[in-house]
Structure 1
């Protein structure tokens, strides 16, 4: 990674440790935020400049900064003058084609921009205006925001995009998000035995998770499989994007019927409903602070962590017990619940800080790269607004995001919006058929929904 040297008197601020890890020789991660619009984009150049200058850039000074190094090799954010036209891209495709064909053009375009590095001499973001229809959400056009992960975590970056939007029903009102129920403690569970049991569970799971993280980041790796090629540099290979949408009402119905505690966990269980007879894990990347509300006081940074979760195996010996698809869901939930009663992610965060102090940020970045590379897939999720939105009077019919630059053959992201849950799949071309995987997930969801609503199950 090439960095510009800082000059005396420059306006600058330190780059956070995690920001340094995510923009290094070993690792460079970005977020793609995709807004699907119900009408063609009719924003002229001057209006677009005004939107970026007056709405987007003021959200954080890092959108007007580049990453540089001082005389001691420390990375800093340096404020620069932004040439907006250098950050706005408008691709041209053949005209008069069907939305299905444009799906392929846009898929290839997303693959191209995902693997291209952002110029280090400019602030680390781009906006792509795609004025062609797609079959997704009956969109007439799309806007893609590419923002480097060193600027902030997914919580912060998606929050920036949403802060540029308005409620369709009443622009004067703020966007609202699904409520996050606070965990309550049962009064009957305050006995000494329960407390000791809970402490023992936390200690045991913490030791297990921390040990697993170190081993899988440094010594072991998942087996090669239909969802993992294991090739070096997989993050630079072309990939396909497919999305699938589910009704949140259906997911809540499944959650209620099987006794799941949160919709978010249930969404991950749906995503994992395939059989795996080989050794496999997935890395869950999640923000430490939940997106409860969006306002100017939302904290900025890279407050996220990785959590190793094993893919439940299904062998011939298990075929009878897993004849009921909910058995697989319950097993997955059991694993997730055990991971939740663990402090392993915090110990891993401390380990990264120690690595940075003793061996420098590149060593910590290589450790994170190994953490991601050695597992089969990555998964992360965010909550989106409850009500429909507009951008400069353009109705937003669909919303999803994708994490790119990670050394995975398969990455999935999950986001809710306007009563729906959108799962986006980023799959390595030549290894995974993204459309076939999408179809499998849809079939799995219908199977789970049918089983959860069947009184005889």
Structure 2
């Protein structure tokens, strides 16, 4: 039987500052999550130039000499899978910097920032990392990010506002009840994308990524009258549908499959500096989630990719008229106050495990950035320790959108899944 244990740090002793309740629930015997941010350098990495004094936190792996970029790509992917499974030492600050100085298929060198999720969510951690980067075109200027504020403005009269309030109340109650019932009793069954293995978070993973053009996605967005997020979710849903259609029989293909979409609950547009987040009490883990069922189709039914995107738009739009996302956060805080972080961690673990896969999204800068004078060609991230067989982690940077796919090794056929995702993207760009 597979086991997965970790020593828990005792905060409040030896001068250590206690974590806030939302962070404590991510570092317990039930759940221990981590975030790895990867920055690909356009030029070979000068280790001496980038080395800092925290020797215990900076790791420079050694690979065989004289190999091709293709071979080094395989070594890097295996190394990335390994550090995903390695536990951070809890006798020291929970972060590491891995410097891979070998050229891969897509980079001359690679930085991998590994941090425990207890330090903060993706918004906090990426904000801290971005504060150390500089713009290539003008280092004195701040980084800029795509706007996350909707441009649509709808004039509402009293009648429409009343209907909107009633709809909001109904959707909120429905979402909370359905989320609790799904987590407690009606979790997804094992399928081609969910093994249901015991302690799946401790099993080896394989990680790959695909990159799409944001210009192509924006063209689809304009033609269909949807948002970029609608297009992304639609492509992920359709690519997953194509994959399960190949891997499953007719019976299991009809089972309910649920995506857990993680959301940042801060009312902010873009990242802020560490000092600003600390002053405004914005640092830490401030996130919630929504459960989205994948559209299901009967065998032989003609599946239109546009329908996946429009269905994603419909579901996301409905969740905008629900405040369940924020109430979920309040309920978790209340549970933590009454029953402690272990109870919250157990519930979050159950919520993650009862779904088929996770989708998480972060935005990156719109201009090229540099890390220690090394221009960065691409940015992406992954999450470790999540009790699922499949994760989709999405990040934009420099006109590109990279989807990192983390799959349970030996269970998820990543080459096939990547092929299905590419087919879904090519189809919607061609037909939209």
Secondary structure of the corresponding residue to residue 44 of structure 1: helix
User: Number of paired residues?
Assistant: 409
Q: Name 1:34's counterpart in structure 2.
A: 38
Among 225, 241, 252, the alignment partner of 1:259 is 225
Among 167, 171, 184, the alignment partner of 2:135 is 167
Partner Cα separation in structure 1 for residue 9 and residue 385 of structure 2:
22
Partner Cα separation in structure 2 for residue 314 and residue 38 of structure 1:
44
Deviation of the 1:398 alpha carbon: 0.8
Partner Cα separation in structure 2 for residue 291 and residue 139 of structure 1:
30
Q: Which runs of 5+ in 2 are unaligned?
A: 1-5, 242-252
Partner Cα separation in structure 1 for residue 12 and residue 381 of structure 2:
36
Deviation of the 1:185 alpha carbon: 4.0
Partner Cα separation in structure 2 for residue 123 and residue 190 of structure 1:
53
Partner Cα separation in structure 1 for residue 11 and residue 386 of structure 2:
29
Partner Cα separation in structure 2 for residue 413 and residue 265 of structure 1:
15
Partner Cα separation in structure 1 for residue 47 and residue 419 of structure 2:
36
Deviation of the 1:4 alpha carbon: 5.2
Q: Name 1:201's counterpart in structure 2.
A: 167
Partner Cα separation in structure 1 for residue 330 and residue 174 of structure 2:
16
Q: Which runs of 5+ in 1 are unaligned?
A: 51-83, 453-457
Partner Cα separation in structure 1 for residue 198 and residue 12 of structure 2:
37
8 Å CA contact 2:221–2:228 kept in 1: the answer is yes
Q: CA RMSD in A?
A: 1.8
Deviation of the 1:358 alpha carbon: 2.7
Report 1:256-295 matches (<5 A): 256-260=222-226, 262-273=227-238, 274-275=240-241, 277-289=254-266, 290-295=268-273
8 Å CA contact 1:213–1:348 kept in 2: the answer is no
Q: Given the two structures, how large is their TM-score scaled by the length of structure 2?
A: 0.90
Report 1:352-391 matches (<5 A): 352-391=332-371
Q: Name 2:103's counterpart in structure 1.
A: 133
Partner Cα separation in structure 1 for residue 196 and residue 271 of structure 2:
39
Q: Name 1:80's counterpart in structure 2.
A: none
Secondary structure of the corresponding residue to residue 229 of structure 2: helix
8 Å CA contact 1:130–1:141 kept in 2: the answer is yes
Q: Does 1:43 align with 2:47?
A: yes
Secondary structure of the corresponding residue to residue 31 of structure 1: strand
Deviation of the 1:354 alpha carbon: 2.8
8 Å CA contact 1:291–1:383 kept in 2: the answer is no
Deviation of the 1:140 alpha carbon: 0.8
Q: Name 2:82's counterpart in structure 1.
A: 112
8 Å CA contact 1:159–1:294 kept in 2: the answer is yes
Secondary structure of the corresponding residue to residue 180 of structure 1: coil
8 Å CA contact 1:400–1:415 kept in 2: the answer is yes
Partner Cα separation in structure 1 for residue 167 and residue 21 of structure 2:
31
Deviation of the 1:316 alpha carbon: 2.6
CA spacing shift, 1:430–1:291, aligned 2, 3 Å: farther
Q: Given the two structures, how large is their TM-score scaled by the length of structure 1?
A: 0.86
Deviation of the 1:308 alpha carbon: 0.8
Partner Cα separation in structure 1 for residue 94 and residue 103 of structure 2:
28
8 Å CA contact 1:223–1:279 kept in 2: the answer is yes
Partner Cα separation in structure 2 for residue 350 and residue 6 of structure 1:
23
Q: Name 1:297's counterpart in structure 2.
A: 276
Deviation of the 1:14 alpha carbon: 3.1
Deviation of the 1:363 alpha carbon: 0.9
Deviation of the 1:18 alpha carbon: 0.7
Q: Name 1:58's counterpart in structure 2.
A: none
Partner Cα separation in structure 2 for residue 226 and residue 2 of structure 1:
33
8 Å CA contact 1:291–1:382 kept in 2: the answer is no
Q: Report Cα offsets for 1:166-214 as digits up to 9, x if no partner.
A: 1111111111111233455422x3141x223211221121111101211
CA spacing shift, 1:181–1:291, aligned 2, 3 Å: closer
Deviation of the 1:293 alpha carbon: 4.1
